[in-house]
Amino acid sequence: MFRPSETPSPSGWRLVVGLGNPGDEYAGTRHNVGFEAIDLLAARRGLRWQVDGPALCALDEAAHYALMKPLTYMNRSGAALRHFARKHPLDGPASIFIVTDDFHLPLGALRVRPDGSTGGHNGLASIEAEVGSKEYPRLRIGVGEPGSDAVDFVLSRFSVADRRVLEECLETASWCAEDWVRGSSLEDLRARYNRRTPQAGS
């Protein structure tokens, strides 16, 4: 299980985890928007992805934060977090920020929360089991309502029209994650980024 430091340390890392599934067959699916959002952040900051055990990681050594894309498949995302925490000091659940899809939110919606239930999301369930708490910050990206078959829905790709909405949403999500690693409070992030609908004109 993930064990936070006994006391906060200025040397502790801040870790953004984008949830998704590895492999071309899952690229561009609704379940992989967490991967896509932090890909945008890595590209903007000039960070390179490198394989680190069960994950792809991009580290900014100077700013002391890292981005992670687990390669374990969604339902074992916590294993990648455990591996990272063994090598890099993390100051408890508040030092991780999970970026994930949410089919309970409309397409293009964004929701920053300091804690909460898994909502039936296997990736969040794995993270929660590893952290041992529901109290870790996360950014949920709305991918639309699934109808009767949630599994097929989250593994499906977006229509051309929906993709246009998503592109702006992912860009905004990437800025939210960057503001978090820069030290913005969750209250500020919620005020700035939470929304139930896409940005007008997207």
Instruction: Reply yes or no on whether the pLDDT at 109 is more than 90.
Output: yes
More confident residue, 43 or 198: 43
Q: Which candidate in 31, 64, 88, 121 is catalytic?
A: 31
- Per the structure, how many domains does the chain have? 1
Instruction: Reply yes or no on whether the pLDDT at 202 is more than 90.
Output: no
Model pLDDT for residues 125-141, shown as the tens digit of each residue: 999 999 999 999 999 99
**pLDDT recorded at residue 200:** 54
**pLDDT recorded at residue 42:** 98
Q: What pLDDT band is residue 4 in, cutting at 50, 70 and 90? A: very low
Residue 185 in any domain: the answer is: yes
Both tokens of residue 94?
Answer: 């508040």
Residue 201 in any domain: the answer is: no
Residue 81 in any domain: the answer is: yes
Instruction: Reply yes or no on whether the pLDDT at 5 is more than 90.
Output: no
Q: Are 65 and 95 in contact (CB under 8 A)?
A: no
User: 81 lies in which domain range?
Assistant: 14-193
Residue 41 in any domain: the answer is: yes
Instruction: Reply yes or no on whether the pLDDT at 6 is more than 80.
Output: no
Residue 129 in any domain: the answer is: yes
In terms of phi and psi (left: phi > 0; alpha: psi -120 to 50; beta: otherwise), the region of 23 is left
One DSSP character per residue, 113-143 reads ESS---TT-HHHHHHHHHHTSS-S-EEEEE-
Q: What pLDDT band is residue 1 in, cutting at 50, 70 and 90? A: very low
104 carries an active-site annotation: no
Both tokens of residue 159?
Answer: 């229509």
Residue 175 in any domain: the answer is: yes
Q: For residue 39, what is the domain's CATH number?
A: 3.40.50.1470
Instruction: Reply yes or no on whether the pLDDT at 155 is more than 70.
Output: yes
**pLDDT recorded at residue 198:** 84
Residue 186 in any domain: the answer is: yes
Mean pLDDT, the chain, integer = 92
